[in-house]
Structure 1
């Protein structure tokens, strides 16, 4: 992870966000490919340790943390840095394709008709704290968050993010109106964790029941607020949509500098790139062979992991997830970014999602 981007200009793709060493490997997933799972916080005690790190005083500083961008490994943590909630357990499980390609319908929250699924994820790599954009996705366990792979796992360090939480609809001063949700397990494709292949720069994170901090006796106590989807709703999923055949809206919390050094966004409010057409794109240096690009979008770092939605209904706040912000592009090498891209969400992405949606978490974490 690096806090700033360098630009590259290549004949094949005009310009891209970052100059990174090339990865090796084949971008398209074979039928015997695997889902790579990393356990973050398994028990209520693990959740409590993560929660204690994110006390209200810490969240008040949230906007001062670095918006995450794909890049080099973070600085190694000093010995004084606390351990993560629990050692990450890495497991591979066979990918099953029987139902993976089926669409998932968007779901409103239990109370009210308007969803508030968009939010930020906060986490640490080494001695530095980062944040990204993310969204809640409809799932049978009512507890799944979609974001970019680089917002959950750093393949250069072969290490999962620490102290990972999701805050839907965060306030500008650390407010958490719909609760805080601690990550339980990350589901990714093995080609992201093993190769840093940007064709698989996505992650579906299963989260624990949410909580909010309540003042008591001069301190704070955790108060259970229930499951994520019950509180904010969940976006649907549409897979295997050929670029150029649909319109998509992209969402996120951009904050980083534009190529000219300006900061038109501050990361404190949700932004949307209006619905537009998509097309295929590639970047050899990132092993990206099957990316999907949305033009006329000037998102900067901080928007990583934000949802791409088909058929977005502004009144309901719902649509169908068809990608996540992965890379920002400066195709004309001018002052502003002018496009954003996502990995192609095909059946393989559906397999990763299904694994995250099938996990269970403890009934109570407070």
Structure 2
């Protein structure tokens, strides 16, 4: 079986190789390709400063909790999941090979076919760690309530949640940061079995902020290759979100070995009230998606930002996040790969 990674990103054959690391001690290996990587592409845009990749949310935990009444969570819309723009050009990145285990511990090699091939957005059992770490991400943009998906990932700070860039920064007429950001892990029909967590800071790649655009039906710009974002969450009841719930693993620069994609699709025929999944024993790429991962999946808007997990153990509900849901059409869902740019952003968020 041939698996793919974006040119310039170190690919490790078979298992994740000898670079499997202790839970919170990431290291970088690999040989950079000379001249292939610009460490900070957004610096080419006049007037852009490094601070632009982060947003400190002024909304207090109490104001966030008060804002998200049942009526507002019920009314929250999913941002569009627009079709790819047909651009086949992708940016090469410096090689990176980083593996951070889930809090359940290092996972043995799971056969790529362990979760089967399912494209219908079937209801997921929320087995094990998945039911505590994957959830709905609520936010406002232009004063309107919206909802995406997200997942807790292992980090030194114990405060990091992964999602998509377009769930934190508007790519349409309102090119601005979102507000009133609340994460509800294990959300089930609007209930919060594991608490309502407010975000302290958001982090989006500057490539995405400056070069990703969308309408209700299409995308444009090379920034969609970097549709990755992280949130630093505030503690709740004296604990970090990872201390309270655990966290999925995360891997940068690795080819997936089978995929489990989780999220909360909200547009018809789904209603956003339950966690859904698609799975594949292999990945494929399609022209015009900047080299993103793709798999057959009919999940609709609302699944954006949900984790793409490789080596996913269906009993433990644990795996390694290698992507988040980004764009799609009626048959295929795409997720931007996590390479050196995403890893740098992760480190920035985990300071």
Q: Indicate whether the TM-score tops 0.5.
A: yes
On the 8 A contact 1:235/1:319 being kept in 2, the answer is yes
Q: Which structure shows the higher strand fraction?
A: 1
On the 8 A contact 1:276/1:294 being kept in 2, the answer is no
Which residue in 2 is equivalent to 1:274? 279
Q: Number of aligned residue pairs: give it.
A: 264
Q: Which has the higher contact order (CA 8 A, sep 6+)?
A: 2
Which residue in 1 is equivalent to 2:320? 320
Structure 1 residue ranges without an equivalent (≥5): 1-27, 72-96, 211-223, 258-262, 330-336, 359-366
SS at match of 1:267: coil
Q: Tell me the C-alpha RMSD between the 2 structures.
A: 2.5
SS at match of 2:99: coil
Which residue in 2 is equivalent to 1:348? 341
Give yes or no for the alignment of 1:307 onto 2:318. Answer: no
Tell me the TM-score normalised to structure 2 length.
0.69
Which runs of structure 2 are paired with 1:179-258 in the superposition (5 Å)? 179-196=195-212, 197-210=223-236, 224=237, 226-242=239-255, 246-257=257-268
Which residue in 1 is equivalent to 2:295? 294
Measured after TM superposition, the shift of residue 181 of structure 1 is: 1.3
**Residue 47 and residue 29 in structure 1: after superposition, are their counterparts in 2 closer, same or farther (change >3 A)?**
farther
Which runs of structure 2 are paired with 1:30-179 in the superposition (5 Å)? 30-33=38-41, 36-41=52-57, 46-54=60-68, 58-59=69-70, 61-70=72-81, 101-108=97-104, 114-115=129-130, 116-156=132-172, 157-172=174-189, 174-179=190-195
On the 8 A contact 1:63/1:268 being kept in 2, the answer is no
SS at match of 2:98: coil
**Residue 107 and residue 350 in structure 1: after superposition, are their counterparts in 2 closer, same or farther (change >3 A)?**
same
Measured after TM superposition, the shift of residue 63 of structure 1 is: 3.2
- CA deviations 1:216-241 (Å, max 9, x no partner) are xxxxxxxx262111122111112223
Tell me the TM-score normalised to structure 1 length.
0.66
Distance 2:293 2:279 in 1: 16
- CA deviations 1:164-184 (Å, max 9, x no partner) are 111101131x32111111111
On the 8 A contact 2:102/2:320 being kept in 1, the answer is yes
Structure 2 residue ranges without an equivalent (≥5): 1-35, 43-49, 83-93, 106-127, 213-222
